[in-house]
Amino acid sequence: MSPVGFVLTEGDVVGADAVGADTVGTAAVRVRGLWKRFGQQVAVAGIDLELPAGRFIGLVGPNGAGKTTTLSMVTGLLRPDQGTVEVVGHDVWRDPAEVKARIGVLPEGLRLFERLSGRELLAYTGRLRGLPGAEVDKRATQLLDVLDLAGAQHKLVVDYSTGMRKKIGLATALLHNPEVLFLDEPFEGVDPVSAQTIRGVLERYTASGATVVFSSHVMELVESLCDWVAVMAAGRIRAHGPLAEVRGEAPSLQRAFLELVGAHGRDAGSDLDWLGGGSR
């Protein structure tokens, strides 16, 4: 755990430096009274949350906790039943032009335009965002290089592997240099090499003072990457704050999380006593 702790402290310092005096106290995202129901099921049950700017923020929780629903509402892809969302001081629903220009999104479970090649997808996204063509092509080349996709840039995205898809999705989200980046399960199903590449890009991005908000159910990952976490379960925020604060006395975030959601102490039981090497 010690290397992780070291990286975190360093991240904290860098973050504090980069944020500087002018952004101290401003929130990247401010959520008030957010609700969403799907029929009988309450997906998000009244969230109030302020995410500080210039941090690497992890939204953690088990499957079905409402992470994706929350991120969709925060990014303007899903209309909340109630509540307001502000991103860098602009209301997502009243001021979409200001917000959409400032955020980058990598959703989970939504397709990309997969019948375009990786390069075409970037060219398309950049031009839709109103960037000049030459600039788009320059940034696309650099992103494809850094994300190790240059060799597959002319392949259709539909033929990409999961890791490659996440990487090209990340590239489209970064292309217009957003202030806040929202990533839904960016490491899900990604091989270690691609994960390391993604990680490197994200760390470089936050070091410059930008904000990353990403969701995950893998605690070790969140613990090693983030300096600020919000824990979600059953549509509510159970805890939020700097990582060390949320982790508290617990030896790891995983433990702290299990205690928060009350899922610890569940044992495999003694029913499987036949399972194991030796006899059949």
Partner 1 sequence: MSAPAITPVVVRLKLSLLRNGLRQSGGRRAAYVASAVVALLFAALQLVGLIALRGFDHAESLVVLLVAVLGLGWAVMPLFFPGGDETLDPTRLVMLPLRPRPLVRALLVASLVGVGPLFTLCLLAGSVIAVAHGGAAFAVGALAAPLALLVCVALARAVAAANVRLLTSRKGRDLAVLSGLLVAVGAQLVNFGAQRLGSSGLEQLAPAADVLRWFPPASAIGAVHSVGEGAYGAAAAQLLLTAAASAGLLALWSRSLTRLMTAPDGSTLQTGGAAAVRDRASTGLARLLPPGRTGTAVERSLRYVWRDPKTKAAWVTSLAIGLIVPVFNAWQGTGSVYFACFAAGMLGIQMYNQFGQDTSAFWMVAMTISSPRDAYVELRARALALLLITLPYATLVTVLTTAMLGDWPRLPEALGLSFALLGAMLATGAWASACFPYSIPQEGYKNVAPGQTGLAWISLLGGMVAAAVLCAPVIALTIWLNTGAGDGDRLWLLLPVGTLYGAALTLLGLRLAAPRTARRLPEILTAVSKG
Instruction: List residues binding partner 1 (CB under 8 A).
Output: 75-79, 96-97, 99-101, 105, 107, 109-117, 119-120, 123-125, 127-130, 133, 151-152, 154-156, 158-159, 172
The number of beta carbons lying within 10 Å of the beta carbon of residue 236 is 16
CB of 80 to partner 1, least distance (A): 9
DSSP 247: H
Q: Is the distance from CB of 87 to CB of 180 less than 8 angstroms?
A: yes
Contact residues for 264 (Cβ-Cβ < 8 A; gap 6+): 255, 258
**Residue in this structure with the two tokens 């969302």, named with its chain if needed:** 85
CB of 98 to partner 1, least distance (A): 8
CB of 154 to partner 1, least distance (A): 5
Q: What is the 3-state secondary structure (H, E, C) of 163-221?
A: HHHHHHHHHHHHCCCCCEEEEECCCCCCCHHHHHHHHHHHHHHHHCCCEEEEEECCHHH
Sign of CA dihedral 242, 246, 251, 253: negative
- Report the residue number, 9 or 161, with the smaller CB distance to partner 1: 161
- Report the residue number, 8 or 73, with the smaller CB distance to partner 1: 73
Which two structure tokens, joined as six digits, stand for 83?
């509540």
CB of 189 to partner 1, least distance (A): 14
> CA-CA distances (angstroms) from residue 137 to 132, 174, 175?
9, 13, 10
Check residue 11 and give left, alpha or beta (phi > 0: left; psi -120 to 50: alpha). alpha
- Report the residue number, 16 or 101, with the smaller CB distance to partner 1: 101
CB of 181 to partner 1, least distance (A): 13
CB of 269 to partner 1, least distance (A): 28
- Report the residue number, 172 or 224, with the smaller CB distance to partner 1: 172
- Report the residue number, 114 or 259, with the smaller CB distance to partner 1: 114
- Report the residue number, 32 or 155, with the smaller CB distance to partner 1: 155
The number of beta carbons lying within 10 Å of the beta carbon of residue 139 is 18
